[in-house]
């Protein structure tokens, strides 16, 4: 038995196969919920926006013509749902300066990539770092935040992000550059921390 592609599952759903839609949710749900949660930092709101996203996937299933990846189309819907929600809540993000000494911005994420903590000191340091990253991400524009989260947490390529946000590759690079510059300014240098 071969695994059906996302496009095949979506077409089956359009044709009335409810199980196909459930398979799409199982296939993409955990990562998508993680993305939405990192965007809003509220698990209940994330659940609501997750449901709203899949409601829109169902609603607009006929508009997906197989162009690009299904994942990009799905994340595009989710990003629009999240950004619309931010606008409704009047949570307009603030833009920051581009000054930084960190070339790729990866230092900002170094402390939160590894959840394997050995001792209590490391646990506290890791928790503090996660909270600092959370607060810093909230300071980015919605597009910068989405770009950074898609790249670092979802492992999406710039091309996939461009498809998702319906913008050019250079726009994605600009969002990433500005987002990482702002994060590098907002977050402490992990190399400066001693144990």
pLDDT digits (tens, 9 = 90+) for 58-77: 999 888 877 668 888 999 99
Of the candidates 92, 101, 86, the one whose C-alpha atom is nearest the C-alpha of residue 183 is 101
Number of domains in the chain: 2
Expressed as residue numbers, the domain containing 141 is: 107-192
Query: E strand or H helix at 37, and its extent?
Result: helix 18-40
How high does pLDDT run on average in the chain?
77
Distances (CA, A) of 66 to 10, 20, 115, 174: 10, 16, 37, 28
Rounded Cα–Cα distance for residues 146 and 38 (Å):
9
Q: What is the mean pLDDT of residues 138-149?
A: 87
Task: Classify residue 101: in a domain, yes or no.
Answer: no
Task: Classify residue 95: in a domain, yes or no.
Answer: no
Place of tokens 């990866």: 106
Give the per-residue pLDDT at 50.
95
Q: Model's pTM, two decimal places?
A: 0.64
Clarify whether residues 124 and 181 are in a common domain: yes
Clarify whether residues 167 and 122 are in a common domain: yes
Q: What is the CATH number of the domain that holds 125?
A: 1.10.10.10
125 three-state secondary structure: helix
Higher pLDDT, 141 or 123: 141
Give the per-residue pLDDT at 191.
54
């Amino acid at each position: 038995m071969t695994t059906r592609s996302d496009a095949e599952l979506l077409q089956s759903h359009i044709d009335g196969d409810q199980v196909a839609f459930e398979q799409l949710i199982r296939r993409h749900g955990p990562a998508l919920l993680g993305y939405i949660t990192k965007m809003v930092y509220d698990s209940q709101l994330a659940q609501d926006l997750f449901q709203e996203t899949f409601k829109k996937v169902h609603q607009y299933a006929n508009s997906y013509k197989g162009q690009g990846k299904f994942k990009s189309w799905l994340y595009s819907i989710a990003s629009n749902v999240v950004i619309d929600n931010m606008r409704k809540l009047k949570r307009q993000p603030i833009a920051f300066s581009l000054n930084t000494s960190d070339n790729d911005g990866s230092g900002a994420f170094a402390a939160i990539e590894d959840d394997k903590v050995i001792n209590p000191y490391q646990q506290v340091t890791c928790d503090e770092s996660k909270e600092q990253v959370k607060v810093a991400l909230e300071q980015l524009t919605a597009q910068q935040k989405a770009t950074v989260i898609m790249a670092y947490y979802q492992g999406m390529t710039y091309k996939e992000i461009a498809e998702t946000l319906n913008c050019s590759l250079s726009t994605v690079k600009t969002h990433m550059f500005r987002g990482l510059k702002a994060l590098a300014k907002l977050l402490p240098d992990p190399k400066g921390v001693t144990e």
